[in-house]
Amino acid sequence: MPPRMTTLGEFIIEKQKDFKYSTGEFSRLINSIRLAAKTVNHEVNKAGLVDILGQTGTSNSSGEEQQKLDAYANDVFKTALTNREIICGLASEEEEDFVSIANKNGDNRNKYVVMIDPLDGSSNIDVNVSIGTIFSIYRRVTPEGTPAQLEDFLQKGTEQVAAGYILYGTSTILVYTTGHGVNGFTLNPALGTFYLSHPSIRIPEKGSIYSINEGNYAHFPQAIKNYIKYCQEIAQDRPYTSRYIGSLVSDIHRNMLKGGVYLYPSTHSHPSGKLRLLYECNPMAFITEQAGGKASTGTQRVLDVEPTELHQRVPFYCGHTAMVEKIESFF
Ligand code: AHM
Ligand code: MG
C-alpha cells in the first residue's frame, strides 16, 4: 500500500482551527486560489501548443507589455475569487486600481482583501522557463458592509493573514503560510490534486546561493557592488555560487529549499528597485520569515514598510537570515 498522503483540501480543513479568525470563509478563499491555480496551470502547460503565446498589445499599469497569459491568469483568479463571494476587494499587479467586490445581493459583508501578481516572470513564458503566481491576503480595516477602500490595501506586510505562491515549474507546487510555518503542496496532474510534499519548510542553515541580475552591476548602489565582490572572493568558508532565473517565484523557491539570498537592488532605471511591495515583496517576505529567513530593503524590514501606493516598489533582499544580515551590514 502506498503511504497515505495528505491533500491540500484535507490540510486546509485540518488547519482551520489554527487560523485565529477561523470561520470557514478563509478556507473557502484558499480553496478558490487552489482551483484558479489548477486552471492557470493547465493553460501554462499547453502554452506552446495553442495560439495563446505572444502579447496582447496592451500595457499593464507599470507600462510593461502584457502577455496574453498574464491577462488570462488575471481573469481566472479574479473570477474565482469574485464569484465565490468571499472577498470584498482585489488588487492585481496587472490592473491600475483595486476593485471593490460586492456579493450578488449587493452587500459588502466579506472580510478579506486579496492582492495578487497573477503571472510573475511572464517575460519567460515564450522560452519555457518557470513562472509563478503570488498572493497576499489581509483582513479589511474599513467596516464590513461598506465598499473596500484604498486603506484596506495599503496595510503593512505585518498585517498579512496569509500569503503564498504557485510555481508552474517542472512540477506545479503551491506554497503558503498563515503564520504557522510554511507548507508546500505538489500537484498530481493525473488526478488534479495537490498533495502535501514539503511540510514545514525551513530555509537550510547553510546558504551558498546568491541570485541577482548582475547585468545591472554598473547601476547598483556601492553597498551591493561591494557585497557582490564579497561573494565572489575566493575564501574557503564562502564558496558562493550564483543562480538567477529571472523569475522571482522560481528564484525564491530554489533558495528556500537550497539556502541562499535573492537581491533586487535599486538601479538607474528603477531607483526604488523593480519589485512591487504589495504584490511581490510582502508575500515573499512573510513566507521567508515563516521559513526562518529574513527580508530587508537594505535598511528596513520589508514587512514594516508603510505602503503609500498600490504599485509601490522597494529594493528587496530576501532569504537566508545571515546572508541578508550580511547585505545589510554593507549599507
Ligand atoms: P514581472 O512582474 O513584470 O514579471 O517582473 C518581475 C520579475 C521577477 O519575476 C524577476 O525576479 C524580475 O522581474 C527579473 O527582472 P530583471 O529581468 O530585471 O532581472
Ligand atoms: Mg510580478
pLDDT in tens, 160-171: 999 999 999 999
Residue with CA nearest ligand 1 atom 4: 121
Whole-structure pTM value:
0.94
Helix axes 222-232, 321-330, angle to 10 degrees: 130
Distance CA 231, CA 105 (A): 58
DSSP letter, residue 218: G
Strand 99-100 with 87-92, pairing? antiparallel
Residue with CA nearest ligand 1 atom 16: 246
What domains can you pick out in the chain, each with its CATH number? Answer: 8-198 (3.30.540.10), 209-330 (3.40.190.80)
Ligand 1 atom closest to residue 132's alpha carbon, by position in its atom list: 9
Ligand nearest to the CA of 219: 1
DSSP letter, residue 116: E
| Segments in the chain below pLDDT 50 | none
Cβ–ligand 1 contact at 133 (below 6 Å): no
Ligand 1 atom closest to residue 215's alpha carbon, by position in its atom list: 19
- Chain position carrying cell 515549474: 169
Q: What pLDDT does 187 receive?
A: 96
> From the CA of 132, how far away is ligand 1's center (Å)?
11
> From the CA of 133, how far away is ligand 2's center (Å)?
8
- Of 9, 79, 70, nearest to 43 by C-alpha is 70
Tell me the β-bridge partners of 132. Answer: 120, 167
Cβ–ligand 1 contact at 121 (below 6 Å): yes
Cβ–ligand 1 contact at 48 (below 6 Å): no
Cβ–ligand 1 contact at 122 (below 6 Å): yes
Alpha-carbon dihedral of residues 152, 183, 247, 95, nearest 10 degrees?
Answer: -20
**Polymer length of the chain:** 331
Query: How many Cβ atoms from other residues are within 10 Å of residue 199's Cβ?
Result: 12
> From the CA of 189, how far away is ligand 2's center (Å)?
25
The strand order across the sheet containing 260-264 reads 241-242, 209-211, 260-264, 316-319, 294-296
Q: What pLDDT does 236 receive?
A: 64
What cell does 87 get? 472577498
DSSP letter, residue 277: I
pLDDT, tens digit, 9 for 90 and up, residues 89-99: 999 999 999 99
Query: How many Cβ atoms from other residues are within 10 Å of residue 298's Cβ?
Result: 21
Strand 241-242 with 294-296, pairing? unpaired
The answer to whether residues 273 and 316 touch, using CB atoms and an 8 Å cutoff, is yes
Q: What pLDDT does 53 receive?
A: 61
